[in-house]
Structure 1
Amino acid sequence: MSLELQLGLLLLLAALGMPLFAVILGIALVGLQAAGYGEAALTEFYGLGDMPGLIAIPLFTLAGYLLSESQAPRRLVRLSNALLGGLPGGLAIVAIVACAFFTAFTGASGVTVVAMGALLFPALVAAGYPKAYSLGLVTAGGSLGLLFAPSLPLILYGFVAGPIAGDPGVSIPDLFLAGLLPGLLMLLVLSAHAMWVGRSVPAPPQGFDAGELRAALWEARWELPLPLIVLTAVYQGVLAVSEVAALTAAYVLVVTVLVRREIGFHQLPGVMAEAMRMVGAILLILGAARALSNWFIDQDVPGRLYAFVSAYVDSPLEFLLLLNLFLLVVGMLVDIFSAIVILTPLLMPLAAQFGVHPAHLGVVMLANLQIGYFTPPVGMNLFIAAYRFQQPVTTLVRATLPFLLLLGATVLLITWWPGLSLALLAG
C-alpha cells in the first residue's frame, strides 16, 4: 500500500472518530517507516522519561483536581465577592477573576465551566445580570487563566519549545513571566465590559463589608498562599519548576485531606485516578507528536512551510495575523494539548525566520487557542456549557459572541505589541 493511501486511510479513520493520539502516532509510524526507521516513533515514548521537569505536569494536575473536588471554588468566590462585589459589575468581575484563577491551577477549561459555573451562573442571574450575559461569561470565562502560572498548557509549550528554540531560548519560568501581562490585559478588558453591563444591575445593598472581607480572608487562609508559593519560588529562582510542583501538590494534599478534611481517604484514589487519566492522555499525545515531529523534520516540512509562507508574507506582523486566524480554527477543532505539541515544532522555526521571540509566539498561540474553546460552531466549551446549563448550543453561541469579539480584539493587540509579552523578560 502506498504512503499516500495509508495516510488517506488514517485521515478517514480520524473522521470516523479514531482517537487523535492514535491518528498522530499512526501518521508518524507510516511516515517514519517509509523513511526507513519506523522504530524511532516508539523510542520517543521511552524518551519522555528523560525530559527534565516532566514530573511537573502530573503534580500540578493532581493539585488542580484536588482543589476542584474540595470547597476551594466556593471560598474563592466568597473572597473575590468580598473584595470586588461592591463595584459596578462587581459580581461579574468576581466570576472573571475566579474562573481565571481556577483554570490556571486545573489547566482544564471544561472543568472550570462545570465547577465554577454551578456557583456563578445562578448567582449572576439572581443578582439581576441578563441571562445571556451570564451564560456567555461562565462559558467564555472557563478559558481564562491559561496564560497564568502554573497553567498546564503553558508548561507543556515550554517542554516542547525549550529544546528546539535557538537564540533566544525560552524556558518555563520565561513563559510564566511572558503570560502575566497579556493575561491581565484580558481580565481588564472583560472587567471593563462587566462594569458597563453592571450599570443596569442593582448595586448590592450591603456594599463593602470589612467584616465579611475578614471572614472570607480567614476562611481562605489555606488557599491564599498557593499563588505566592508558585510565583515567588519560580520567579525568584528558589526552586525548579518540578520542585515547585511537588511542593504545591503536597501542600494541597495536606490541606484538602488532613487539615480541611473535605476529601476523605476513600475518595482520594478516585480523584488521583481522574487526574492521572488526564496526565496519561497528555503524555500519549506528547509522545505521538514528538514522533510526528521527527518525520516532519526528516521531510524538511518546516523549511518547505517557510518557503511557501515567505512567498506571500513579508513581515512578522503579517505572519502573526495569519497565524491568529489559523490558530482560531485549530482551537475549535483540536484540544489545546494536541495543538501545542503538533504545531510548536512546525511554527517555531517559521517564527524564528520572521524574528518572532519564542516566548511571544507561545503567548500568541495560547491566547488564540483559549479563545477557540468557545468559538462557534464547534468550540468545546459551548457543548460543555450547553450540557451543564441545559441550553441549546445556538443560545450559547449568541451569548458568547460579545466575549469572542472583546477577547479577539485583545489578542490582536497582544499580537501587535510583543513588548507586552517580553517586558518582564527584559527586566
Structure 2
Amino acid sequence: MGSLLSGLLVIAALIGVPIFIVILAAAALGFSFAEIDLMVLPIELYRITESQVLMALPMFALAGFLLSESKTADRLVRLSQAALGWMPGGMIIIALLTCAFFTMLTGGSGVTIVALGALLHPSLLKSGYKDKFSIGLITTSGSLGLLLPPAIPLILYGIIAQQMDIADVSISDLFVAGLVPAFLMILALYGYGLWANRDVKIPLVKFDRKEFFSALNDAKWELAIPVVILGGVFSGVLVISDAAAVTALYVLIIEVFVYREVSISRLPKVMKETMVMVGGIILILGVAMAFTNFLVDAQVPETLFDFIQKHIENKYTFLILLNIVLLLLGALLDIFAALVIMVPLILPVAMSYGIDPVHLGIIFVANMQIGYFTPPVGMNLFIASYRFKRSIHELYIATLPFMAVLLMVLFAITYIPTLSLFLIGK
C-alpha cells in the first residue's frame, strides 16, 4: 500500500500537481501510517514563522522585483562597457559581470537573460563575437550571481539547516563563502572566452574617462546596494533581516523617487507579484519542514546513511555522486523546491562524512546554478530559446562548452573546501 501511494505521489508531481501539495500529502500519509496526530502539520507550518531569518526573504525579493522593473540593466551595461571595454575580451567580461551583478540584485537567472539579452547580444555581435558564442555566454551567465549576496538560495539553505537543529549555519558565513567560488566561475568563463576567440581579431575600445564617470554617476545608487547589505551585516550594525528591510526601503526610494522609473501606481502590482512568489516559497518551506520531521521520526536519514556507507567508502566518492544528483535535480526542479526537498536528506549524511555544512551549501547552490542550463530540460535553455528565437538544439550546442568549463570549477569547489571556507576562518 505504501509503495502504491508513493508511486501515486511521484506521478502527481510529474503531471504538474503543485509541489507543496505533493510534499504535504507525503507528510500526511507518513504521519498517518505512523499513527501520529495530523495536528503536527499546522504546528510545523506555524513553527517556521519563528525564524528571524525568514523575514529577509520577502524584503530581498521585493528589492529584486523593483530593480527588474527599472532600467538598472541598461545602466549596468553602460558602466561595464565604459570601465572594461578597453580590455582584451572586454565585452566578454562585461557580459559576465553585468549578468552576475544583475542576478545578484534581482535573484532571478531567467529575469537576467530576458532583461540583458536584448542589450548584450547585439553588443557582442557588433564587437565581432560569433552568434553561437554570444548566445551561449549570455545563457550561461544568467545564473552566475546566485552565489553572491543577497543570495536567496543561500538564505533558504541556511533557514532549513537552522530549523533542523543539527548544524550551526550562519547566513553571513554563507554569503562570504560564496564569494570566491562565484568569482572563480566568472574568471574561468572569461579565460575560456579569450581562448575560444583567440583567432578572432576583436578591436579594443579606447577608455573614455568622461564616459566612465558619467556612467558611474548614473549607476551610483545601484552600486551602493552591496555596500548597504555587506557593510551593515559585517559591521554588526544590522542582522540579515534588518539588512533586507533596509535594502528594500533603499531600492524603493531610489527607483520610485530618485530615478522615478517605477511609478507609485505600479508599486501595488510589483508588491503583489513579489509576495505571490515569496508566499509560494514559504508554503513549500513550511510543508517541507513537516515532511522533514516525519523523515527524522522514521529514521530515514540514518537508513540512507547506512545504505550509503555500505556502498560508498569515502566522502570523495559521495561528493561525486552528490554532484551528479544535484545537477540532474537542478535541470528538473526549481532551485527552491530542490532545496527544501533535498537539504533535509543530504545535510545529515554529508555531515557524517565530515563535510562542513557551509561548504555543502556552496556545493548545493553551485550545482543548481549549472543545472539551470543542463540539457535536456534546464530552465534557462528554454528561456534563452524563447528570448533569442533559436531552437533548443542550438542552445544545447552553444552552452555545452561553457558548461564544461563550469563543471571543472565545480570540481575544484567541491574537492577544495578551502576555496569556500578560508574567508570565514575554517
- TM-score range normalised by the length of the shorter chain: over 0.9
What is aligned with 1:65? Answer: 65
Kept after mapping to 2: 8 A contact 1:89/1:196: no
What is aligned with 1:324? Answer: 323
What is aligned with 2:137? Answer: 137
Kept after mapping to 2: 8 A contact 1:45/1:288: yes
The residue matched to 1:54 in structure 2 has which SS?
helix
Kindly, what percent of the aligned residue pairs are identical?
Answer: 49
Kept after mapping to 1: 8 A contact 2:85/2:204: no
The one-letter code matched in structure 1 to 2:247 is T
Measured against aligned partners, the alpha-carbon deviations of 1:160-191 in whole angstroms (never above 9, x if no partner) come to 11233546x21100101111111111111011
What is the CA–CA distance in structure 1 between the aligned matches of 2:45 and 2:375, rounded to whole Å? 35
The residue matched to 1:267 in structure 2 has which SS?
helix
Confirm or deny that 1:344 pairs with 2:343: yes
What is aligned with 1:420? Answer: 419
Which stretch has the larger CA shift, 130-139 or 115-124? 115-124
What is aligned with 2:294? Answer: 295
What is aligned with 1:247? Answer: 246
What is aligned with 2:108? Answer: 108
Measured against aligned partners, the alpha-carbon deviations of 1:174-224 in whole angstroms (never above 9, x if no partner) come to 101111111111111011122234444554464211111111111112111
What is aligned with 2:216? Answer: 217
What is the CA–CA distance in structure 2 between the aligned matches of 1:12 and 1:318, rounded to whole Å? 31
What is aligned with 2:43? Answer: 43
Kept after mapping to 2: 8 A contact 1:106/1:151: no
The residue matched to 1:88 in structure 2 has which SS?
coil
What is the CA–CA distance in structure 1 between the aligned matches of 2:79 and 2:238, rounded to whole Å? 29
What is the CA–CA distance in structure 2 between the aligned matches of 1:139 and 1:73, rounded to whole Å? 16
What is aligned with 2:11? Answer: 12
User: What pairs up with 1:17-416 in 2 under 5 angstroms?
Assistant: 17-36=16-35, 37-164=37-164, 166=166, 169-204=168-203, 206-416=205-415
What is the CA–CA distance in structure 1 between the aligned matches of 2:216 and 2:200, rounded to whole Å? 26
The one-letter code matched in structure 2 to 1:42 is P
303 and 353 in structure 1: CA distance in 2 versus 1, 3 angstrom threshold: same
Q: CA deviation at 1:43?
A: 2.1
The residue matched to 2:144 in structure 1 has which SS?
coil
Q: CA deviation at 1:261?
A: 0.5
What is the CA–CA distance in structure 1 between the aligned matches of 2:240 and 2:105, rounded to whole Å? 14
What is the CA–CA distance in structure 1 between the aligned matches of 2:153 and 2:321, rounded to whole Å? 22
Kept after mapping to 2: 8 A contact 1:32/1:41: no
Kept after mapping to 1: 8 A contact 2:88/2:204: no
Which stretch has the larger CA shift, 296-305 or 157-166? 157-166
The one-letter code matched in structure 2 to 1:13 is A
Kept after mapping to 1: 8 A contact 2:301/2:349: yes
Residue segments in structure 2 that go unaligned for 5+ positions in a row: none
Q: CA deviation at 1:149?
A: 0.5
The residue matched to 1:284 in structure 2 has which SS?
helix
What is the CA–CA distance in structure 1 between the aligned matches of 2:165 and 2:105, rounded to whole Å? 26
Kept after mapping to 2: 8 A contact 1:165/1:358: no
Q: CA deviation at 1:61?
A: 0.3
Q: CA deviation at 1:118?
A: 2.1
Kept after mapping to 1: 8 A contact 2:128/2:202: no
Q: CA deviation at 1:414?
A: 0.5
Residue segments in structure 1 that go unaligned for 5+ positions in a row: none
Q: Provide the TM-score with structure 1 as the length reference.
A: 0.96
Q: CA deviation at 1:104?
A: 1.4
What is the CA–CA distance in structure 1 between the aligned matches of 2:70 and 2:78, rounded to whole Å? 14
Measured against aligned partners, the alpha-carbon deviations of 1:345-403 in whole angstroms (never above 9, x if no partner) come to 11111011110000000000111111000000010111111111111101101100011
The one-letter code matched in structure 2 to 1:407 is L
Q: Provide the TM-score with structure 2 as the length reference.
A: 0.97
The one-letter code matched in structure 2 to 1:133 is F
What is the CA–CA distance in structure 1 between the aligned matches of 2:76 and 2:39, rounded to whole Å? 49
Kept after mapping to 2: 8 A contact 1:148/1:176: yes
Which stretch has the larger CA shift, 258-267 or 5-14? 5-14
Measured against aligned partners, the alpha-carbon deviations of 1:396-422 in whole angstroms (never above 9, x if no partner) come to 011000111000010001111001111
The one-letter code matched in structure 2 to 1:57 is L
What is the CA–CA distance in structure 2 between the aligned matches of 1:312 and 1:83, rounded to whole Å? 53
Q: CA deviation at 1:126?
A: 2.2
Kept after mapping to 1: 8 A contact 2:125/2:131: yes
Q: What RMSD in Å do the two structures reach over aligned CA positions? A: 1.4
Kept after mapping to 2: 8 A contact 1:89/1:201: no
Between Structure 1 and Structure 2, how many residues are aligned?
425
